[in-house]
Amino acid sequence: MSMATELTCSYGALTPRVSISPSPTRIYAAFNSSSRYSQRLIYTCFCSKQPVSRQITTEELSLSMYNRWIRDFCRAGEIDEAMSLLAEIDSLGSFPDPLSYVSLIETLAGLGRTLEADALFQEVVRFGIHERSYSVRLYNALLSGYLRKGQLDLAVRVLDHMKGENVEKNQETCEILLNYYVNAGRLEESWRVVNEMKKMKFQLSSFVYGKIIRIYRDNGMWKKALGIVEEIREIGLPMDVEIYNSVIDTFGKYGELDEAVLVLRKMQSCNDVKPNISTWNSLIRWHCHHGKLDIALELFAMMQDQGIYPDPRIFVNLITRFGENGNWNMISKHFEVVECKEHKDARAIYGALVQIIGQFGSFQDVEELVGKLKSQGVAPSANMFCTLANAYAQQGLCKQTVKVLKMMENEGIEPNLIMLNVLINAFGTAGKHMEALSIYHHIKESGFTPDVVTYSTLMKAFTRAKKYEKVPEIFREMEASGCSADRKARQLLQNALMVLDKRH
């Protein structure tokens, strides 16, 4: 059974009820011998001019074709079709081959359907289906899926299983771990992974150096972070987009916006390195953060001129900032530019965000909104639901945010840590600090591992409610958990302590 999160919001309190299956089981879709897959299989086998024995036709050839179709559907992202084929193979009393299991588990984990991925993985282990060459890919897929959702305890279980089976980590395993630890603000674990990579003589790629820069940046050592760039040059590693983006993000976070733009200019002048969506997102986000909205809009226009569509989350940031200043005409003008572009999915999502925020929250029918997106061909995804929920959350529309969460679950998409952090923000912005706290407890009880965003957002909720005495307590919990406080968290703590000192 997949996780079922039921949140009921009233004027009194928020009551989370969670049900997690202790041992996920594989659930197969109903099917019969007249399915389109079976029909296609029979047609292919019996229309062939080559003589084929009945046994080969019904067993060997069909199983081979099933495996091929499963992998094709997984590559196309049509996981439900692939799972239906898996059910048909099971009805024949057979199993897919190891590579098909790899494809299924990687696709399910990538979509956030970790319970199903884990159930298949347990099946692989139980029946000894895997081949040694595919073992680490299976573990990496499951590890990445758990960490993407913020389920650190389950990820540690995967690592323990690897150790027990004598499956060595590869470079991808280490990079998956490093990416999670850095994003979650876990300094000690981040350095442990870097040192392990050095010990195992893995090459420290631009991805790894980019993460090292971010570790320094998030701990207030931005000049040291920039010193890493000199080390990269000394060892002869080419400066690629990952490293440039880390440098831009470092400058942006500490208000060195002119320097950040200079790095952009340098990237644009290079023949082999060009700015990507992350580059533009970082520049726009930090200019918005520091109140430089005019330059943020210039960058927004430049990005579109380069043929790159803005991340919907950046669009939320922009229109929220302009909404706070009452500049709705600027939103309309720039949305018209987006509408003229060719990407239908992007236009639909931007249009939904304008309806949510541009009408000061008057667009409260979440079902109708999601229905409009689906009618325009936008496939529901975790990212789409998180983006819509965030648009409501920034205005403190907690009921609408909870509705988005429920719709996400109804679509079969398991809630992730990002969505739950958004929910904390929704209640905090609405002044419901106790409800925000209940979501925090729900996160811990549900097997998720709170990250630095969780703690910072919760501290902000209590700051808004003027419950300053709770802020140092949350900060201590964050440090005890292994999360390294970022600049925002430290500023919230400092402000709370100043108020408490004045009271005394």
pLDDT digits (tens, 9 = 90+) for 125-165: 887 766 666 788 889 988 998 998 888 888 998 999 889 88
Give the separation between CA 408 and CA 157, rounded to whole angstroms: 27
pLDDT tops 90 at residue 435: yes
pLDDT tops 70 at residue 16: no
pLDDT of residue 352: 62
322 and 303 in one domain? no
pLDDT tops 80 at residue 385: yes
426 and 499 in one domain? yes
Structure tokens at 70: 């499963």
445 and 411 in one domain? no
pLDDT tops 50 at residue 51: no
pLDDT of residue 291: 84
* DSSP code for 60: I
- Assign 3-class secondary structure to 286-334: HHHHCCCHHHHHHHHHHHHHCCCCCCHHHHHHHHHHHHHCCCHHHHHHH
pLDDT of residue 12: 39
pLDDT of residue 55: 40
Tally Cβ neighbours within 10 Å of residue 200.
12
User: In this predicted model, what pLDDT tens digit does every residue of 241-271 receive, in sequence order?
Assistant: 888 898 898 888 888 899 899 999 988 888 7
**Do residues 482 and 189 make contact, with C-beta atoms less than 8 angstroms apart?**
yes
Q: How far is CA 151 from the centre of its chain?
A: 12
SS3 53: coil
The CA R_g of the chain, rounded to the nearest whole Å, is: 25
Range of the domain at 491: 421-504
460 and 396 in one domain? no
Does this model's pTM top 0.85? Answer: no
Which band of pLDDT confidence, cut at 50, 70 and 90, is reported for residue 372? confident
Give the separation between CA 7 and CA 381, rounded to whole angstroms: 20
pLDDT tops 50 at residue 41: no
Domains in the chain: how many in total?
3
In a domain, 395, yes or no: yes
* DSSP code for 56: I
Final residue before a domain boundary, out of 372, 395, 415: 415
Which band of pLDDT confidence, cut at 50, 70 and 90, is reported for residue 11? very low
**Do residues 218 and 484 make contact, with C-beta atoms less than 8 angstroms apart?**
yes
498 and 444 in one domain? yes
User: In this predicted model, what pLDDT tens digit does every residue of 317-364 receive, in sequence order?
Assistant: 776 777 666 565 666 666 555 554 544 455 556 566 655 655 544 455
